[in-house]
Structure 1
Amino acid sequence: MEEVNVVQTKNGTVSVASAFAGHKEAIQQRDHKFLRIAVEEAYKGVDCEDGGPFGAIIVCNDEIVARCHNMVLRNTDPTAHAEVTVIRKACEKLNQIELSDCEIYASCEPCPMCFGAIHLSRVKRLVYGAKAEAAIAIGFDDFISDALRGTGFYQKAQLEIKRADGKEANIAEEVFERTKEKFRMY
């Protein structure tokens, strides 16, 4: 294999952006392998009537740590999306809340809630298959994204969102100041 993207730096060391021409191809094959497993989970969830056609896996050092599909109907839990559920399983299995050595493969582009969970878990890489539009096209709504943009379903639902003011807001903010020395998440 030939070297590509070799750069000479000021101090004379060589930085190689991509060591071999086949590197990108190998990564793509690896991604496809793991994405197929996430898609299998999506089918499994529908076949079991657990939830919608969404699957996800967590991978660490080329090993599958956890795999799951949408469990919204099975668990009667609107937050039991494949990505959130697989993150919970991986954290439990690894006994840690930070998954910075892990990657997540999702059958579909994550919704904002799932993306938030992915971000909070510190997963280093996300690979997804279908665009959100594929799910929307068969009846899954995009109301969370609409809510964040202030459009669509959010406006129709007339959900009121208000930040408390005055003393109540101050009391709520004091919790963070009073507990900052007692609690360290990361």
Structure 2
Amino acid sequence: MTYAADMAISDDDVDHVRRCVELAREAVDAGDEPFGSVLVDAAGRRLFEDRNRVGGGDPTRHPELAIALWAVENLTPDDRADTTTYTSGEHCPMCAAAHAWVGLGRIVYAVSAAQLTGWLREWDAPAAPVAPLPITTVAPGLVADGPVDEVVETMKALHRAALR
């Protein structure tokens, strides 16, 4: 596995990202877009997980936003800062902003917004309604690591399947 020098993606990170991919698959099976996310505490325990739920008509039902909302209700500010959010795709601007506003910690994403944008262009699919900005452009103080090479092709296949 090869990562940029500033990234510190561990085997545990990859395991959590794989759970996000499973959640993304569940989302596709339910008729939603392929996104899944997991919130993990400093000890590595999974605290909360969700999948995309936009198929019901609310385009804001992203799992990353669900994590931010859950964290505000269930964790202290210090505990939120010590978490890691794992996700199948780099946060959209809405989710990156929510993540920053509630003070969540590190983010590890399976595929980047740039990768997804490229795939959608390749498939002549409609673009997202918001700019595909990197997390740290929206929220410069956040730490975000990704993509995770081990799952990129699986995620590409899930996005392709969701378009059908």
Q: Normalising TM by the smaller chain, what interval? A: 0.5 to 0.7
Aligned to 1:141: 127
Letter in 2 for 1:145: A
Aligned-partner SS, 2:66:
helix
Letter in 2 for 1:45: A
Query: What are the equivalent positions in structure 2 for 1:80-91 lying under 5 Å apart?
Result: 80-91=61-72
Aligned-partner SS, 1:141:
coil
Aligned to 1:78: 59
Query: What are the equivalent positions in structure 2 for 1:38-77 lying under 5 Å apart?
Result: 38-49=20-31, 51-60=32-41, 61-74=43-56, 76-77=57-58
Following the alignment from structure 1 to structure 2, what is the Cα–Cα distance between the partners of residues 38 and 48? 15
Q: What is the TM-score normalised by the length of structure 2?
A: 0.64
Larger Rg: 1
User: Deviations along 1:62-112, whole A, 9 cap, x unmatched?
Assistant: 0111101111113x21111121012223433x2557721211011111111
Structure (1 or 2) with the greater strand fraction:
1
> Is residue 2:18 matched to residue 1:32?
no
Shift in alpha-carbon separation, 1:37–1:80, aligned structure 2, 3 A: same
What RMSD over aligned residues (CA atoms) do the two structures have, in Å? Answer: 2.3
Asked if the contact 1:65/1:90 (under 8 Å) is kept, the reply is no
Aligned to 1:115: 96
Aligned-partner SS, 2:10:
helix
Q: What is the TM-score normalised by the length of structure 1?
A: 0.57
- Give the % identical residues: 29
Structure with higher RCO (Cα < 8 A, 6+ apart): 2
Deviation at 1:55, TM superposition (A): 0.8
Q: Which runs of 5+ in 1 are unaligned?
A: 1-23, 148-186
Shift in alpha-carbon separation, 1:28–1:53, aligned structure 2, 3 A: same
User: Deviations along 1:117-167, whole A, 9 cap, x unmatched?
Assistant: 1111211101101111343323362442279xxxxxxxxxxxxxxxxxxxx
Shift in alpha-carbon separation, 1:124–1:141, aligned structure 2, 3 A: same
Runs of 4+ aligned residues of structure 1 deviating over 6 Å after TM superposition are none
Asked if the contact 2:92/2:132 (under 8 Å) is kept, the reply is no
How many equivalent residue pairs?
Answer: 119
Asked if the contact 2:68/2:104 (under 8 Å) is kept, the reply is no
Q: Which runs of 5+ in 2 are unaligned?
A: 1-7, 134-164
